[in-house]
Amino acid sequence: MTLELRGLAVRGPSGEEACEGAGNRFRCPSAEVEVTDDGGSLFVSFTSLGQVDRSWPLSLSLSLRVSGGLALTNDPAPDSAYAVGFRYYNLLGTGATPSVERPPDDVEYPPREFRGGRPTSWLYPIWLRDEGSIPPLTAGLIAFTGDEWLAAVAISSGRLTGYLGPGPRLSVYLGSPAASASGHVLAYALSGDPYDAIAQAWARASGRAKVRLRSQKPRPSFSRRLGWCSWNAFLGNVTEADVKATVSSLIARGVRLGWALVDDGWESLEGKSLREFSADGSKFPGGLRGLSEELRSMGLRMGLWTTINGYWGSLSEGLAGRYPKAKVRDGHFVRPDSADRFYEDYLGWMASQGVSFVKVDNQVWLHDGYVDVPSAEAAGGVEEALQSVASRKGLELLMCMALVPEAYSNFSAAATARASVDYIPFWRAGAKLHIMFSAYAGTFLSPILYPDYDMFMSYDQGALAYAVAAAVSGGPVYITDRFPDRTNVDLLRRLTLPDGTLAVADEPGLVTRDVLLRDPYNEDVLLKVASAASGVPVVGAINVTRRGSRVREALRPSYLPRPPTAERLAYYKSVSGEAGVIGGSGSVNLELGELEAELLTLSPAVDGVAVIGIAELLVPPAGVTVEGNRVRARAPGTLVYYDGALREVKVSEGDVVEV
């Protein structure tokens, strides 16, 4: 099947121009255009005959019918619904008194209108009635066409970037004057199963752009341990002393940390630009090397934050002057073809300071940061340089503000990225939206990366909901506690094994079938995210309803993205402690109030035996290894299993129980 092209328009000096053509070739007053559909992607090339719009030169009308769907959009309109909480709650999280009015807990989402224009960094879920409701700047689409599921991925390659919307159209972005340009701009797939369609669409994207599938990339090792990040604890005021004191206090309280990430605030700056490859000596008198050595003595690795362009205002003129410079929107930065030299120096310096991994922020900058190079071309050069140099230096990457086609289309080595806008502490509305945004974006991105649901404070009123979401996300799990004496150590110990390894799901969590096309914020349905631990299905259920309604519903095994086929399943609810057995076509009742959460294990019975795992962990199957009828405990606690009846056995770490 191919996507049928209904028409094409070029934006020229006098506005939008209709084009005439037959087959895949079109002639317009300002350009000649060729569109090729190979049954899995759209390739566009054009030659300018005059002056075409430098930003959005082409618009393709598609013959597309949607009877329900989900769009993941980069439209900036949803930002405003969430951003009202930053100035109030971010200060509150540090212990300061906010000077602005407290934002409401009843935030309207989705927005009533969309803006278009410059994309935001994040993918926001928008539920569709039909093809006409596809918002502008849609990067991902999961839609039911009446008899099949369509999944589409906007991609960036060559010199062009694609975006779906508004409505059934494909808009093509250039970003710089060019006499000619070409590139793959959309990958898509049809299937009887929505999750299979998503996987196939990304597989086709990986054959047209530089992005590689998650299965082809190593999982970052830092994501297997619990971490701490300085951001919400200290914002940009972080110091060397703050990091040492907080981390050492957390460890003293029994938190099994494996790494610490020093976020924004460590840099030597000139205004809003990076002045030099060094830390601010007034805040980090021992330098980053001294801090990393101290953290290593505590058994921790150190991560470091930066932006893809050096800092929010790019590089200082002096630092940028060491490299061939490009014309950029703000500050100074290197040419894409010289980015390898810049990252060789910058990441090499980080590695020399004892940094193990790097959080690379502000990747949306690639969309329009360069003035004289098409964005797709610039992004391809910069991302390739960043990821190849990081690999050579032994640095793992955590990508951030990177959910735009120019960034993710080039994830050739990067395997972890933030899945949503920033965590905001202590805000009920923010918690609901943040977890929901992460779940839907993470589902869409799961074929190419392990989604990062971001940090959280363990003493946040929504901490359990955040912990459950993180536990089934398949991505990193980390906290940002400012006050270790308030840290919920018991909750965090439910996320880790005695050796410090995370006891969480193995694979990216996927929103379940029953809510894939429903809005759990505005409808009385539970958000449910399914994954697996040691091959056993686990489901995180969270009440993110806007009104805070108490929700009762029944979860059926058939709702899972990969439904278990066993005739009997043993289930265990990690929060309530309820256990039971159901048939393969049965159901488990769930009832949750506002921001309440449950983590459900559904263990299929094999030869009459179903192993749940260690009950004291949020994800019990992560606490055991099973070989035949022998179960080895990876943590002390209560082993729960079914062998015709539900059994509970007290075990110590390393014990083996025959079931």
Rounded mean pLDDT, 380-397: 98
Residue 128, SS3?
Answer: strand
Q: Please, which pLDDT band fits residue 21 given cuts at 50, 70 and 90?
A: confident
Judge contact between 119 and 137, C-beta under 8 A.
yes
Rounded mean pLDDT, 39-63: 90
Asked if residue 1 has pLDDT above 70, the reply is no
Distances (CA, A) of 587 to 157, 201, 566, 580, 583: 46, 32, 13, 11, 8
303 exposure class (CB count in 10 Å sphere: 0-12, 13-18, 19+):
buried
Q: Please, which pLDDT band fits residue 48 given cuts at 50, 70 and 90?
A: confident
Asked if residue 434 has pLDDT above 90, the reply is yes
Rounded mean pLDDT, 562-568: 95
- The CA angle 640-646-652, to the nearest 5 degrees, is 25
What pLDDT digit, counting tens, does each position of 497-534 carry? 999 999 999 999 999 999 999 999 999 999 999 999 99
- Give dist(CA 556, CA 582) in Å, integer: 10
Residues pairing with 639 in the sheet: 614, 649
Distances (CA, A) of 118 to 121, 364, 369, 370, 547: 10, 10, 11, 14, 32
Handedness of CA 185, 183, 407, 372 (dihedral sign): negative
Q: How many other CB atoms are found less than 10 A from the CB of residue 282?
A: 8
Q: Which helix (H) or strand (E) holds 492?
A: helix 489-493
How confident is the model at residue 364, as a pLDDT? 98
What pLDDT digit, counting tens, does each position of 144-168 carry? 999 999 999 999 999 999 999 999 9
Q: Please, which pLDDT band fits residue 2 given cuts at 50, 70 and 90?
A: low
DSSP state of 134: P
- The CA angle 168-173-174, to the nearest 5 degrees, is 155
How confident is the model at residue 244, as a pLDDT? 98
Rounded mean pLDDT, 12-24: 83
What pLDDT digit, counting tens, does each position of 180-233 carry? 999 999 999 999 999 999 999 999 999 999 999 999 999 999 999 999 999 999
HSE-up of residue 213 (Cα within 13 Å, Cβ side): 13
- Give dist(CA 281, CA 273) in Å, integer: 17
Domains parsed from the chain with CATH numbers: 4-99+110-212 (no CATH), 512-658 (2.60.40.1180)
How confident is the model at residue 18, as a pLDDT? 86
Distances (CA, A) of 324 to 196, 316, 341, 349: 45, 14, 10, 20
Asked if residue 385 has pLDDT above 60, the reply is yes
490 exposure class (CB count in 10 Å sphere: 0-12, 13-18, 19+):
exposed
How confident is the model at residue 408, as a pLDDT? 98
- What is the DSSP annotation of 70-122? EEEE--SHHHHHHHTTHHHHHHHHTTPPP-SPPPPSS---S-SS---SSPPSS
How confident is the model at residue 481, as a pLDDT? 98
What pLDDT digit, counting tens, does each position of 250-280 carry? 999 999 999 999 999 999 999 999 999 999 9
Rounded mean pLDDT, 38-47: 93
Residue 166, SS3?
Answer: coil
Q: Please, which pLDDT band fits residue 5 given cuts at 50, 70 and 90?
A: confident
What pLDDT digit, counting tens, does each position of 185-195 carry? 999 999 999 99
What pLDDT digit, counting tens, does each position of 318-357 carry? 999 999 999 999 899 999 999 999 999 999 999 999 999 9
- Give dist(CA 543, CA 600) in Å, integer: 14
- Please state whether beta strands 416-418 and 450-452 pair in parallel, antiparallel, or not at all (unpaired): parallel
Record the tokens describing residue 213, joined without a space.
Answer: 């599938």
Q: Please, which pLDDT band fits residue 30 given cuts at 50, 70 and 90?
A: confident
How confident is the model at residue 177, as a pLDDT? 86
DSSP state of 176: S
Question: What percent of the chain is predicted at pLDDT more than 70?
Answer: 100
How confident is the model at residue 653, as a pLDDT? 98
